């Protein structure tokens, strides 16, 4: 059986491609105790975290960017997980925020189920390549039960390590 620690060891990069040199995620960008009750509240919460950490210049601008992107197509990948993302002139640097909500939110997910785990990607305008690479790397991992288990049940440190390893693999 593959344990969480063995899975994290597998993800550890041996030869990193330094595409993701900047620090896109740290412990202050992870909130495992959110208690929001709507999609709009989730977007506001994510934008507030980004603003508080100096990652964005305008809360409303980023919140609207997330809402607009969600209207194009759902970011709910299934298994209770969504990856809301936006490119915006208000984003100062590529950022990943992880939010675990204590209640499920209707999200129009691909599997039709509500969501309570969010991996938020925020990228400055003009950084499409980073945006797409981050999204591809993270969404591929959602097929692995070990990764989704870490997201849903893991500590801040485990989630941080798993996401950093995925981005640097």
SS (H, E, C) 97-155: EEEEEEEEECCCCCCCCCEEEEEEEEEECCCHHHHHHHHHHHHHHCCCHHHHHHHHHCC
Mean pLDDT of 148-163: 96
In angstroms, the CA 44 to CA 151 distance is 21
Give residue 131's pLDDT.
72
Cα torsion for 114, 120, 125, 127, to the nearest 10°? -120
Residue pLDDT, tens place only, 18-31: 344 458 999 999 99
Please give the positions annotated as active site.
85
pTM of the model: 0.86
Q: Say which range, 91-95, 114-118, 129-133, has the weakest mean pLDDT.
A: 129-133
């Amino acid at each position: 059986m593959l344990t969480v620690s063995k899975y994290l060891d597998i993800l550890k990069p041996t030869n990193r491609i330094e595409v993701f040199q900047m620090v896109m995620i740290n412990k202050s960008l992870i909130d495992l105790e959110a208690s929001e009750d709507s999609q709009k509240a989730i977007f506001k919460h994510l934008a507030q975290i980004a603003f508080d950490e100096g990652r964005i210049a305008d809360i409303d601008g980023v919140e609207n960017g997330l809402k607009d992107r969600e209207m194009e197509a759902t970011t709910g990948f299934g298994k209770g997980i969504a990856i809301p993302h936006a490119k915006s002139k208000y984003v100062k640097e590529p950022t990943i925020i992880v939010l675990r909500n204590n209640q499920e939110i209707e999200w129009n997910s691909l599997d039709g189920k509500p969501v309570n785990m969010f991996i938020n990607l925020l990228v400055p305008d003009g950084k499409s390549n980073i945006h797409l690479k981050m999204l591809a790397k993270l969404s591929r991992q959602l097929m692995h039960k070990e990764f989704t288990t870490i997201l849903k049940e893991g500590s801040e440190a485990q989630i941080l390590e798993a996401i950093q390893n995925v981005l640097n693999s």
